[in-house]
Amino acid sequence: MSPTRNLNYPSLARRGFILGAALFLIGGLGHVVGPAIVGSLPGWEAALLLDLEIAGILIGLFAPLIFGIVLPLTE
């Protein structure tokens, strides 16, 4: 018996997409709201917010593909 039979793929795909969307929104809102509140953001904060946006897009796209399509087909 495979240890992956206990995974709930639809739930993992949904949660992965929601995590990706949340990271993207946090990064996007940080770019908009951050300078409005504290002025110019330091370089490391702007880079961190950009990384959050990029990671959010990648996680939001790949989680449903991996957990919704690829892994169920490999069982």
Q: What percent of the chain has pLDDT over 70?
A: 93
At 1 the pLDDT is 52
Quote the DSSP letter at residue 66: I
Q: What is the pTM of this model?
A: 0.86
Which range marks the domain in which residue 48 is found? 17-74
Residue 61 lies in a domain: yes
Residue 69 lies in a domain: yes
Residue 46 lies in a domain: yes
At 7 the pLDDT is 86
Contact 46, 31 (CB under 8 A): yes
Please count the structural domains in the chain: 1
Average pLDDT taken over every residue of the chain: 92
Q: Is the dihedral of CA 58, 60, 66, 69 positive or negative?
A: negative
Residue 55 lies in a domain: yes
Task: Identify the weakest region by mean pLDDT among 15-24, 44-53, 66-75.
Answer: 66-75
**E strand spans, the chain:** none
What is the rounded CA–CA span in Å between residue 27 and residue 33?
10
Contact 69, 13 (CB under 8 A): no
Find tokens 């993992």 and name the residue: 12
